[in-house]
Amino acid sequence: MQSSTPSLPQIEKLRLHTQRLTNDLDRLMFEAIPVGTGSPMRLAQAMRYAVVPGGKRFRALLTVAVADLVGGAYDHALRVGAAIECVHAQSLIHDDLPCMDNDDFRRGKPTVHKAFDEATAVLAGDSLLALAFELLGHEATHPDAGVRIKLVLTLARAMGQDGLAGGQMMDLYPPPDASVDEVAMCETLKTGALISYCVEAGAMLGHCTPEQSAELTRFARALGRAFQIRDDVLDRIGDEIIVGKAVGKDQGKGRKTTLSVMGLDKTRTEVARLARECEEALAGFGQEASILRDLTRLAINRLN
Ligand code: GRG
3-class DSSP assignment, residue 109: strand
**What is the per-residue pLDDT for 237?**
86
Residues 192, 198: Cα–Cα separation, whole Å: 10
Provide mean pLDDT across the span 130-137: 98
Provide mean pLDDT across the span 253-265: 89
Provide mean pLDDT across the span 257-261: 91
Within a domain: 3: no
Asked whether 36 and 44 are in contact (CB, 8 A), the reply is yes
Position 2 pLDDT exceeds 60: no
Report how far ligand 1's centroid is from the alpha carbon of 287 (Å). Answer: 30
Within a domain: 303: no
The total number of structural domains in the chain stands at 1
* Ligand 1 site-directed mutation target among 63, 95, 198, most atoms within 8 Å of CB: 95
User: Who has greater pLDDT, 204 or 237?
Assistant: 204
Residues 134, 149: Cα–Cα separation, whole Å: 12
Whose alpha carbon is nearest atom 17 of ligand 1? 191
**What is the per-residue pLDDT for 195?**
98
Report how far ligand 1's centroid is from the alpha carbon of 12 (Å). Answer: 26
Report how far ligand 1's centroid is from the alpha carbon of 106 (Å). Answer: 11
Read off the pLDDT of residues 37-48 as tens digits, 9 standing for 90 and up: 666 999 999 999
Within a domain: 290: yes
Read off the pLDDT of residues 136-187 as tens digits, 9 standing for 90 and up: 999 999 999 999 999 999 999 999 999 999 999 999 998 888 899 999 999 9
Record the pTM.
Answer: 0.95
Ligand 1 atom closest to 85 (CA): 29
Within a domain: 2: no
Within a domain: 184: yes
- Say yes or no: CB of residue 219 within 6 Å of ligand 1: no
- Say yes or no: CB of residue 197 within 6 Å of ligand 1: no
- Say yes or no: CB of residue 282 within 6 Å of ligand 1: no
Asked whether 204 and 277 are in contact (CB, 8 A), the reply is no
* 89-92 contact pairs (CB < 8 A, 24+): 89/50, 89/51, 89/54, 89/125, 89/128, 90/50, 90/124, 90/125, 90/126, 90/128, 90/129, 90/132, 91/164, 91/168, 91/194, 92/50
Within a domain: 152: yes
Report how far ligand 1's centroid is from the alpha carbon of 190 (Å). Answer: 7
- Say yes or no: CB of residue 164 within 6 Å of ligand 1: yes
150-188 burial, b for 16+ CB within 10 Å, e for fewer? bbbebbeebbeeebbbbbbebbeebeeebeeeebbbbbb
Neighbours of 137 (CB within 10 A): 14
Average pLDDT of the chain, as a whole number:
93
The amino acid at residue 71 is G
**What is the per-residue pLDDT for 175?**
85
Q: What is the CATH number of the domain that holds 273?
A: 1.10.600.10
Name the CA radius of gyration of the chain, rounded.
Answer: 18
Provide mean pLDDT across the span 2-25: 78
- Alpha-carbon torsion (298, 26, 29, 137), positive or negative: negative
- Say yes or no: CB of residue 107 within 6 Å of ligand 1: yes
Within a domain: 158: yes
List the domain range (segments joined by +) for residue 243.
Answer: 8-296
- Say yes or no: CB of residue 58 within 6 Å of ligand 1: yes
Longest dimension (CA), the chain: 55
Ligand 1 atom closest to 107 (CA): 27
Within a domain: 180: yes
Ligand 1 atom closest to 129 (CA): 1
